[in-house]
Homo-oligomer: A and B are copies of this chain.
Amino acid sequence: MEKLNTYLESNKQRFLDELFGLIRIPSISSISDHKPDMLKAAEYWKNTILKSGADKAEIIPTAGNPVVYGEKIIDPSKPTVLVYGHYDVMPVDPLDLWKSPPFEPEIRDGKIYARGADDDKGQAFMHAKAFESMVSTGTLPCNVKFMIEGEEEIGSPNLEKFCSDHKEMLKADIILVSDTGMIAQDIPSITVGLRGLAYLEVEVTGPNRDLHSGLFGGAVANPINILSKMIASLTDENHHITIPGFYDKVLELTAEERAEMAKAPFNLEEYKKAIDIAEVCGEKGYSTMERTGIRPTLDVCGIWGGYTGEGAKTVLPSKATAKISMRLVPHQDHEEISKLFEEHFLKIAPPYVKVKVTNLHGGQGYVSPTDTKAYQAASKAYETTFGKKPVPVRSGGSIPIISTFERVLGIKSILMGFGLESDAIHSPNENYPLFNFYKGIETIPYFYKYYCE
């Protein structure tokens, strides 16, 4: 593998420049104005895959943003690795909290600062460059396919159909994904569990127009007060979710499994300090790691209503709206949970308001076994480059499409994430350390090596 290291060393700056070119395209999938940028980003990926040494690469349309597909088949009798990633990114507001423009990557303190620097432009790009390194040095041991989509951040609404439409093309032995994190730069880890997601929007309407809060206040229901009460009632004093049936299918872990989980390194004081909170807060009876790893949640991701400008405008508003996400754990079905939520939310609506519930998106959770050849190969790869065996962890995040791959394509995924908690993905000042970027490019070829041995 000496050749690979030399190749990486002599191409470091170019790899970074190429990533910056991708980052500069503001491919925000949730904002329709950015449609043209989605196509630009797809085009960029197609060229990247081709230049990296693929036999072919193409942009395949879907009902939404297109999927970039590419492949290099060196020998049909050898194993095939399917690399999955996404070229779309999250919105950037609040923009005023960014220290440098989100789509103008800047290196500060050894980190790339930009939207998508980690999630998932930086991480997916490592696979293209690891692939290029193996091709260029004649060390690629198997076939490789790339599937880079443009709708991950909005729940991959068209990827399931894409998979069933292209089952033959996507045939592979394992799916390799870098869209998760690791515990720390000196504590490598591999994500073996992901939470599912149900995401809904609720709108509460009181009077048919904004009213004078003096003339009507006290006699007409205020939709913000009502929405607050409805949201408040969704969790009890122990932070349990009160929706009937919500926990029915939750996979409960054994005391042994929980004891095993508790061995993962975790420092509560550092955790609180990093985000400046005096106390953590979560479901009674569970540790912080369990609360994000094995328990479902209900979080209001956004709320708005009435006057939100400067000063003291009095108004009894007509409407109040909230976006509510529930992270789900294995065996909870996102469609069933969305339905339970909707039924319950409509049921608790008092007679003096109208309530509308809209299901915005959802996805299933995922659990990966650790006794497979693929997991062992990934584990050995990290051990080789980090000098430490990686810890298997359950992440609180969601990549709904991972469970879809298993269901539709029948292929398991390995989540070789190189991100850090401090990368601030989805937040202002998202960043990705150069160390992690290059370490990823160095580690990935070892996976191929051990997987094909």
List residues of chain A with CB under 8 Å of any chain B CB. 29-32, 90-91, 93, 97, 153-155, 181, 195, 197, 199, 201, 206-222, 224-225, 227-229, 231-233, 235, 275-283, 288-289, 291-292, 295-317, 320-323, 325, 327, 350-354, 360-361, 395-398, 421, 424-429
A426 touches B216 (CB 8 A): no
Q: A206-B277, A312-B323, A426-B315 are in contact. Are A232 and B235 (CB under 8 A)?
A: no
Q: How far is the CB of A267 from chain B (nearest CB, A)?
A: 14
Q: Complex: how many Å from CA A310 to CA B90?
A: 12
Contact B228 A280 (CB under 8 A): no
Q: Are B292 and A306 in contact (CB under 8 A)?
A: no
**Docked CA distance A425–B208 (Å):** 14
Offer 29 A-B interface pairs, CB within 8 angstroms, sorted by A.
A30-B311, A31-B310, A153-B313, A155-B312, A197-B214, A206-B277, A207-B275, A208-B277, A209-B275, A209-B429, A210-B426, A213-B297, A213-B325, A215-B397, A218-B327, A224-B231, A224-B302, A225-B300, A228-B303, A232-B233, A301-B316, A302-B317, A303-B304, A304-B304, A306-B323, A313-B323, A313-B426, A314-B426, A315-B427
Q: Which residues of B contact A323 (CB under 8 A)?
A: 306-308, 312-313
Q: Of B91, B291, B296, B315, which one neighbours A307 at CB under 8 angstroms?
A: B91
Nearest Cβ in chain B — how far from A427, in angstroms? Answer: 4
A187 to B48, CA, bound (A): 76
Are A300 and B231 closer than 8 Å at their CB atoms?
Answer: no
| A181 partner residues in chain B, CB cutoff 8 A | 215
Please report the C-alpha to C-alpha distance between residue A408 and residue B306 in the assembled complex, in whole angstroms. 34
Question: Are the C-beta atoms of A218 and B292 separated by less than 8 Å?
Answer: yes
- Could you tell me the distance in whole angstroms from the C-beta of A350 to the nearest C-beta in chain B? 7
| Choice from B31, B219, B350 contacting A291 with Cβ under 8 Å | B219
| Closest Cβ neighbor of A32 among chain B residues | B310
Q: Are A207 and B276 in contact (CB under 8 A)?
A: yes
**Given A228-B231, A299-B225, A306-B302: A218 and B313 interface contact (C-beta under 8 Å):** no
Roughly how many angstroms separate A30 CA and B220 CA in the complex, as a whole number? 26
User: For A428, what are the chain B residues with a Cβ–Cβ distance below 8 Å?
Assistant: 209-210
> Nearest chain-B residue to A329 (Cβ)?
B218
Select from chain B the residue with minimum beta-carbon distance to A322: B224
Q: Are B315 and A308 in contact (CB under 8 A)?
A: no
Task: Select from chain B the residue with minimum beta-carbon distance to A237.
Answer: B229
